[in-house]
Structure 1
């Protein structure tokens, strides 16, 4: 079917949710995965599901480990090429978040064949391929199905020296927290779906969500970098809580220092908040301490699902200069120190101040 054979619907109109806002809420996901913890774990599996890390890691030999992840979702934008670019960038980010270098990808494709044209589907695939070319990796295969909603993403594979591997669970008391990208993608996507995001806002959203987290391998090579993750569908609060619980330490976040996309406060005030934001808060609110006067708008941004979000790094204070230099080399001008890792705790929390 070609584009001229049909009146094409907006891509976002075909999906009940978009981007990383489609993620199952963390509390529900934890219950669903409970049975998987009983499966046998070979000693070569360096990272599995135990701390909700960004990717699985399997040791091949003393110098190489394979990093494997998959990520896919429904459209967060209507432009098919942009949708493909965002989805591919988001999937590859999990490899970078472990400190690894991507080596290849497999495409995950589900499309409503009778609802959108072949040209539109081809544009989605081409968008994803363009990001893989930028990352220097091939799309070496994949799988396609005819589905009710459009779905696109990648299985992404990478390699790392096991000695350089960065988990989300090894932050140390006194570490500084550095966030590589500003928050607000979920808010912008909600505004876009209602036709309330202007051209300038859309351009900034695309710029952020299609920027590969290339600093990952450079950061992994810095001795004082202890932990790393990427902030995606569970928001800063949720992924921060994963790091806190995995590391057994409180995370102290200075809210005024957290970078945000321009115009976000206005969009939140206008009611452009995703349903995933509320689901996120319901799942992990008991693990987050808010300061007095912390309003609904701030909480919506704290839990805002970030599609293709930034890396969050926990590093020793004397490594901060090297961390900032790594982000700067790759053009991450918004990277900012947003807090620190607190003391060990029997009930680790994210504490906003």
Structure 2
């Protein structure tokens, strides 16, 4: 492990070290998780920004306990028929087209439609939500801008306010938004949590779907194998998440002098915890650069984090991606990249594995 000037942080790349940092929340603070300067307590950025990812214990534990009710496996599973119907409709809308940009024509559209459905947000607002998600991503990556981030979150809040207010008046918890409104969160914190969910739930899930599709487009035999035995899709998806982690890394700040992997870390130092590198550590997975559908523990990857900050929406993300791949493989006879792999356009960022476009040829019969 070494200090990397370009990242202004110690790079944590070994799986064991990544696991330790993520679990040791007393030594490694999450206040700087997104790479922006930590806001002063009580300031506008502190009161407007993300609800969970940049909070520490004990506040994080209290917040997560309140929000967890919305993401039990039972609550998520009941949305599968709706998600499958969305996937089918979107894939069928491509029928007859020989070439598509799978990112723009499917991967971006599905997660925002799903998250709006499970939250109970009007469909008419989905285009604006996607635009604001991209705006937030830009303020976090392209040109870090705390003021712009606060402004975008404010726009999100204004968009969500009517739906949250309406959900609070509904007795039966039929959507996640109703569950959040009834969880005990005040209106401000409920809004912050939904903003975080909207951003993380549609940007990162779109990236997971795009990357999984790219892997299958490059390997028609693997795609055929999954068509013949769809039960193996679950393992394939976990392998794809491991190899192409949508969130490549998050930051932590040392709260005291410590040591990691034999390297002294002074109090106040910043660390970039690389999920992507840790997932390709041979100590985590044998033959880490390969897809292995017979891997014994395919869920042991780091793509969703570890410990207290494990991604709260991982079950929904998995359900969306698996269903999307099932429908794609079951509907399209064959698909392949329409450009050489080296021409694929990725967002230039240390923290995200974000395909900007995915030109794919489709063979329907």
TM-score, normalised via structure 1 length: 0.29
Which of the two has higher C-alpha Rg?
2
TM-score, normalised via structure 2 length: 0.29
Q: Which has the higher contact order (CA 8 A, sep 6+)?
A: 2
Higher strand share: 1
Higher helix share: 2
